Amino acid sequence: MTENLHGLKKKCTSTRDGDLTKSKKRSTSEEADSIPISKGLDPHRYKMDYPCLGTCVIINNKNFHQSTQMNTRSGTDVDAALAYKTFSDLGYKITFVNDQTTRDMIRLMRTVSQEDHSSSASFVCVLLSHGDEGVIYGTDGPEKFENLTRYFKGDCCRSLVGKPKLFFIQACRGSDLDDGALIETDSVDDQTTDRIPVEADFLYAYSTAPGYYSWRNTSNGSWFLQSLCEMLQRYRGKLELMQIMTRVNCKVALHFESSSNLPGFSGKKQIPCITSMLTKDFYFPA
């Protein structure tokens, strides 16, 4: 129900709610050949020739009401600043808010969904908060995650129908700890349709698997947001989104490991979890 770090080759110190005090980064080198973005219409690629890339909503919840018994999320401001810079550099118009109650979050999501997105190619939302399975915390308590995303479904937000709606969630999904494990070194004819499922064209990128802790470094931010922003900056315009997310998974899984003064909290691992209902390939602009 809180989030939480170290780097497999990246050493950190954490408390129970996942705050870390120091880390040592391991250098990596990855390459990718640039993939030219076709000017023509590719039926298997989302259309990107809109006047603007779209809106990116960033909700950064750091301080929580005493009644929730949730700790302050030290380090989340680093995540928020990194997300702001990354998605702004990609070309998104940023809507940024801090410390939102559940009512505030719902009101914001409803308001944004009611805007005209006809000129936008996509929509992005970054949620930074405490969480549990199926819920995200406002500063005053938990809210079902689906109550925030439902406003962007096809039957509610017509101007985003057929466009990618991307949600990146840095929050716990339970209290289980991942001990890790030792390792050794159909084609369909093109068709058109008047209707598509209201759940289509969503991607949910969770910082951790269902039921598990999500780790956060008090100095460097969370494992997931660090890795996500690094890979987006490195592979924008070169790799398709799901390929980028696979590299995010690899980075988090192999380069981080928790180190804590609390018994039983050291040597823990984390793996992000991606749920995709995207119907085409999505490339961020180079």
Q: Which residues are catalytic?
A: 130, 172
Contact 247, 224 (CB under 8 A): no
Contact 182, 265 (CB under 8 A): no
3-class secondary-structure state, position 97: strand
3-class secondary-structure state, position 112: helix
DSSP element (H, E) containing 120: strand 120-128
User: Distance between CA atoms of 134 and 145, rounded to whole angstroms?
Assistant: 6
- For every residue of 189-248, DSSP letters joined together read -----S---TTTTEEEEESS-TTB-B-EETTTEEHHHHHHHHHHHHHTTTS-HHHHHHHH
- For every residue of 130-154, DSSP letters joined together read -EETTEEEETTEEEETHHHHGGGST
> Can you count the helices (H) and strands (E) in the chain?
5, 11
User: Distance between CA atoms of 128 and 111, rounded to whole angstroms?
Assistant: 19
Closest CA to 5 of 274, 273, 268: 268
Residue 66 structure tokens: 């005493």
In degrees and rounded to multiples of 5, residue 156 shows phi and psi of -115, -35
